[in-house]
Amino acid sequence: MSNTILRQNNNQRLSRWQQTLKFTQGVGKVATGTVIGLSLLAGSAITGGLVGLALSFRNLPNVRVLENYSPTETSYIYDVKGRLLTRLHGEANRDVVPLEEISPELKKAVLAMEDSHFYQHQGINPTSIARALVVNLRSGEIEEGASTLTMQLVKNVFLSPEKTFSRKLAEAVLALRMEQVFTKDEILEMYLNTIYWGHNNYGVETAAQSYFQKSAEELNLAEATMMAGLIQAPEQYSPFVDYAATKQRQATVLNRMEEIGWITSQTADSAIDEPLLVGKPTAWEESKLPAVTQAVKAELNEQFGKEAATEGGLRVQTTLDYFFQQMAREIVKNANQELRRRGLNSHQIALVAVDPRTHFVKAMVGSVNYQNSQFNRALNARRQPGSSFKPFVYYTAFASGKYTPSSTIKDTPVKYRDGSGYYRPRNYGGGFAGTMSLRQALAQSQNVPAVKLGQKVGLNNVIDVAKKLGMESPLQPVVSLPLGSVGVTPLEMAGAYATFANNGWHSDTTFIVRVTDSQGNVLLNNQPDPKLVLNQWAVASLNSVLQDVIQSGTGTKAQIGRPAAGKTGTTTSERDVWFVGYVPQLATAVWIGNDNYQPLGSDVTGGGFAAPVWRQFMKKALVEEPVQQFPSPSQFEPPQPSSN
């Protein structure tokens, strides 16, 4: 159907507006007692008869609650540079905007269709009431509502949608009260931000973004009249459903605006001829980084509660860069293919990178393929860290003031009584090295010296250190604790090692930089406020030893051409392999394993399989980062041995 025919057909329909108006204006002249009575009833309502009705509706809501009315709003999650990642909302996808940020064309189009006398009446429209009374009593039911825009607002906010005379009377009473409390502009602003525009869009701003990918402030006349036409039946007239019906409805709006003299015929013709560059539904778009936004949502729920996260209009700046995260995902995907090509019986890899200076999470990959598995192993899989737990034991020793990296320990057979008999720690590959320095023992990842050292410094002291570094997984002081026999998450390991990388300065690990409300008020600011939680000489000594792990120990496949420290981890029967390492600007944990705890294969180690993945990621991640050295232990005073 051509636009010209659309306009002609709608002009014919518009003549019925005038005919109906003339009919209702002449109701009092009709020579029947019933109609005269109706006319008098309408008049009494207009002149104050609703005062009596108001007494019958004492239990109606107090419209003054709208002075602090805050409708639910959509929350938005962005990457660290402001790129939108996802929206969080319940049923109502809504952004609240002030009236001055709504297109004048849209305001006029809506008023033309819904209540052209809005700025003249006091909440109810006498002519509309008379017309509706006639129509409804003729039919014996509610067919025509006579609702003003104010009445529509109170219905949407306070009342049920049922079509009954009592509901309509309550609607009228509340509308009168509303007009006594609020200005016309305030009512119009609430209305435009409250009503439903189709496809889960509540309020004009999200509707404009969905239909035209622009703000409500930028809508032109053609777009505004299309949107105004949606209000009566949003899905029926939606351009996403039936573009022809959309244009036909748009013509109705334009003709109505012309008929009441708000636009010229030429303006209407130009608007109807303008094609609508329609966008797409946005309410339920998938996140661009689903695993990341799930983690952010969990942090929001903890900080603000689930309702605030989905209905509070939060603006959330995350710690991650979209493209950096994409790089990490690609590294994990390619690494998994390479490892399987090498015969590794591995189905999953997790990677977490944390900035030691801020403890902001910079990358997080919880599975090889999120579409196939949404379980986030980086955050939720507690797996044995193996020898990558040993640095906590060695730090505790150095911090006690009784040990240095040059201190010696005997790598000789030993046994300890436990609940079921005796525990005899063994080194990977068997055999014993005899007397060796702590530096050598850690660099070569000897198990027996780590267990002995744990007994000497006290396992509860080791646990205290781990907790200072942010570990929340339950840790028990079992003899095998130094060998990583308890479950922890990759995020916990990356966060703890990040404090080593920052020479003992610690902040809480987070995915969120800051949160504001929709007005820009700051609700949460996670700008780092680090606290010194470790002895700096002990940390510097540990960092020196862990550099040897990469230079000449079990982690040589993690060499990246700059100073780096780290530790390999391999558990019993090769069920989990790890490499956790860092430079001063970035700490990263890599875990490889199977969800069913099946072994990865014989002779599979963290140094042989996890370290190369770590190296690939770090080399790309640090391309623009300058080479930095770790502080030397000589820069700090060694701790004094305690008297205990």
Residue found by looking up tokens 């015969």 in the block? 343
| Number of domains, the chain | 2
How many Cα atoms within 13 Å fall on the side-chain side of residue 480?
A: 17
Write down the pTM of the prediction.
Answer: 0.83
pLDDT confidence of residue 39: 36
Least reliable range by pLDDT among 181-195, 232-246, 418-432? 418-432
Are 108 and 209 members of one domain?
yes
Taking the CB of residue 163, how many other CB atoms lie within 10 A of it?
Answer: 12
- CA 326, CA 550: separation in Å to the nearest integer? 27
Identify whether 298 is part of a domain.
no
Are 217 and 333 members of one domain?
no
- CA 408, CA 38: separation in Å to the nearest integer? 105
Are 230 and 371 members of one domain?
no
Identify whether 492 is part of a domain.
yes
User: Is a pLDDT exceeding 80 seen at residue 197?
Assistant: yes
Are 268 and 335 members of one domain?
no
- CA 110, CA 225: separation in Å to the nearest integer? 8
pLDDT confidence of residue 45: 42
Are 26 and 135 members of one domain?
yes
Quick one: average pLDDT of 159-183? 78
Strand partners, 587: 354, 582
Average pLDDT over all residues of the chain? 87
Identify whether 411 is part of a domain.
no
Are 265 and 334 members of one domain?
no
Confidence band for 129, pLDDT divided at 50, 70 and 90:
low
Q: What are the distances in angstroms from CA 251 to CA 4, 72, 122, 237, 271?
A: 10, 33, 30, 12, 9
Are 342 and 201 members of one domain?
no
Identify whether 311 is part of a domain.
no
pLDDT confidence of residue 426: 94
User: Is a pLDDT exceeding 50 seen at residue 30?
Assistant: no
pLDDT in tens, 78-89: 999 999 999 999
Confidence band for 226, pLDDT divided at 50, 70 and 90:
very high
Quick one: average pLDDT of 225-238? 95
**Which residue would you say has higher pLDDT here, 571 or 283?**
571
pLDDT in tens, 481-504: 999 999 999 999 999 999 999 999
**Which residue would you say has higher pLDDT here, 643 or 45?**
643
Residue 129's contacts (CB-CB under 8 Å, 6 or more residues apart) are 42, 45, 46, 146
Identify whether 135 is part of a domain.
yes
User: Is a pLDDT exceeding 70 seen at residue 134?
Assistant: no
Are 266 and 360 members of one domain?
no
- CA 501, CA 515: separation in Å to the nearest integer? 27
Confidence band for 340, pLDDT divided at 50, 70 and 90:
confident
**Which residue would you say has higher pLDDT here, 141 or 205?**
205
Confidence band for 57, pLDDT divided at 50, 70 and 90:
low
Quick one: average pLDDT of 345-368? 94
Identify whether 86 is part of a domain.
no
User: Is a pLDDT exceeding 80 seen at residue 643?
Assistant: no
Strand partners, 422: 417
The CATH number of the domain holding residue 176 is 1.10.3810.10
Are 145 and 222 members of one domain?
yes
Identify whether 420 is part of a domain.
no
pLDDT in tens, 98-116: 999 999 999 999 999 999 9
User: Is a pLDDT exceeding 60 seen at residue 399?
Assistant: yes
Are 480 and 391 members of one domain?
yes
User: Is a pLDDT exceeding 70 seen at residue 43?
Assistant: no
List active site positions: 114, 387
Are 19 and 121 members of one domain?
yes
Distinct helix (H) and strand (E) counts, the chain:
23, 16
Q: What are the distances in angstroms from CA 110 to CA 66, 99, 102, 225?
A: 22, 13, 12, 8
User: Is a pLDDT exceeding 60 seen at residue 287?
Assistant: yes
- CA 493, CA 508: separation in Å to the nearest integer? 13
**Contacts within 8 Å (CB) and 24+ apart, 233-241:** 234/196, 234/197, 234/198, 234/199, 235/198, 235/199, 237/198, 238/198, 238/199, 239/211, 239/276, 239/278, 240/198, 240/199, 240/278, 240/280, 240/281
The CATH number of the domain holding residue 511 is 3.40.710.10
Confidence band for 166, pLDDT divided at 50, 70 and 90:
low
Confidence band for 24, pLDDT divided at 50, 70 and 90:
very low
Whats the size of the chain, residue-wise?
Answer: 644
Residue found by looking up tokens 């130094």 in the block? 482
Identify whether 431 is part of a domain.
no
Residue found by looking up tokens 């069913």 in the block? 596
Are 65 and 303 a contacting pair, CB within 8 Å?
no
pLDDT confidence of residue 602: 86
Quick one: average pLDDT of 186-202? 94
Domain span at residue 535 reads 325-403+458-635
- Residue finishing a domain among 273, 294, 316: 273
Confidence band for 283, pLDDT divided at 50, 70 and 90:
confident
Are 353 and 268 members of one domain?
no
User: Is a pLDDT exceeding 90 seen at residue 372?
Assistant: no
pLDDT confidence of residue 164: 60
Quick one: average pLDDT of 127-138? 62
User: Is a pLDDT exceeding 80 seen at residue 143?
Assistant: no
Residue found by looking up tokens 């689930």 in the block? 306
Confidence band for 130, pLDDT divided at 50, 70 and 90:
low
Are 591 and 575 a contacting pair, CB within 8 Å?
no
Q: What is the DSSP string of 365-417?
A: E-SS-TTT----HHHH--B--GGGGHHHHHHHHHHTTS--TT-EEEE----EE
